[in-house]
Amino acid sequence: MEKSKVLVTGATGYIGGWVVKYLLEEGYTVHITVRDKSKKKKYEHLLKLADQSKGTLQVFEADLLDGNSFIEPMKDCEVVFHIASPFIINNIKDPQTQLIDPALEGTRNVLNAVNTTESVKRVVLTSSTVAICGDNADMKDQGLKAFTEQHWNTTSNLKHQPYAFSKVLAEKEAQKIADAQSRWSLSVINPGFVMGPSLAGSTSSGSFEFIRDYLSGKLLTGVPMLVFSYVDVRDVARAHILAAEKNSDGRHIITNKSFSMLEVSKILKGSAKKKGLLPKFQAPKFMLYIIGPLFGLSSKFVSRNIGYSIQFDNSKSKEKLGLEYRSIETALKEMVEQMEK
């Protein structure tokens, strides 16, 4: 792929910022969309990155719920990186409005704009491993050693794991639109739980909320035996660009290693200033049925996730993309240092 024009949605977000940084360093002309150009503070760090790199940056206004707003930013672009989508794991009051609509309608609107833009040859969509597996118990139920790109989350819905459900709907909609035409091809990036520093300095990403709960002492009384599969944000960003440059179609699991929440606490101990606030115990499962609602955990979530391991097969990312993974320990260390600073 020549160093052409590309569009990045969600460029001011956690993953999007790193994608933009790497594209600029490689010399691309990068179009980004923001909801309000007058709020320069949200994308000022990206303008500075552009000044320090050989690429160029152009900023456009667009709204995920207005398909026509992407026509102008997409003009003459060869690749569209559709990254914009909310990542909210707590305080979800209206899942349809907060998660489903922006994820599903946003994907539909961006890809409909792609269909009217002759220059676009490839779309790289940010999905998630939660579109592959909804509950950790799914692995045991299906008799699997690890999930692959062939598997789909069939257990999430609007009331149970709505964030995961939004990812399933958005990815399936993208595949449906891609299959209905032959001009452009679709690459899907399915990251695990993303960790590592933010280029914006501050972020509303659920990843930082998760680590903040550790550092603030909120989890001091004990953590559930809950396992996530983690990945460095920079590996996720690299995967997006590699998928475009290597024309690698289909889904790509981008995740490094699985850890329990207690194991994460032990890793954080190496860099957290207030080590005494970190949890040292695992809360028994029966207790979580009682106190779970205080942390937004339904009894169904406790039943289907606590005490179950989870593994993903990332071999496609290594073989097709040539991705070499950074250590999660380093990602967490840099993240804590940034947050405490």
- Pairing mode, if any, of strands 5-9 and 29-34? parallel
In the annotation, is 333 catalytic? no
In the numeric block, the tokens 């598997």 are attached to 151
Question: Number of H helices and number of E strands within the chain?
Answer: 14, 10
Q: Which residues of 303-330 are buried (b: 16+ CB within 10 A; e: fewer)?
A: bbbbbbebbbbbebbeebbebebbebbe
| Sign (positive or negative) of CA dihedral 88, 39, 10, 176 | positive
* Residues 79 and 26 sit within 8 Å (Cβ to Cβ): no
- Sheet (strand 79-82) strand order: 56-61, 29-34, 5-9, 79-82, 122-126, 185-191, 250-254
- Which structure tokens are listed for 42? 């949200």
- Indicate which residue of 21, 167, 316, 333 is catalytic: 167
**Catalytic residue numbers, as ranges:** 167
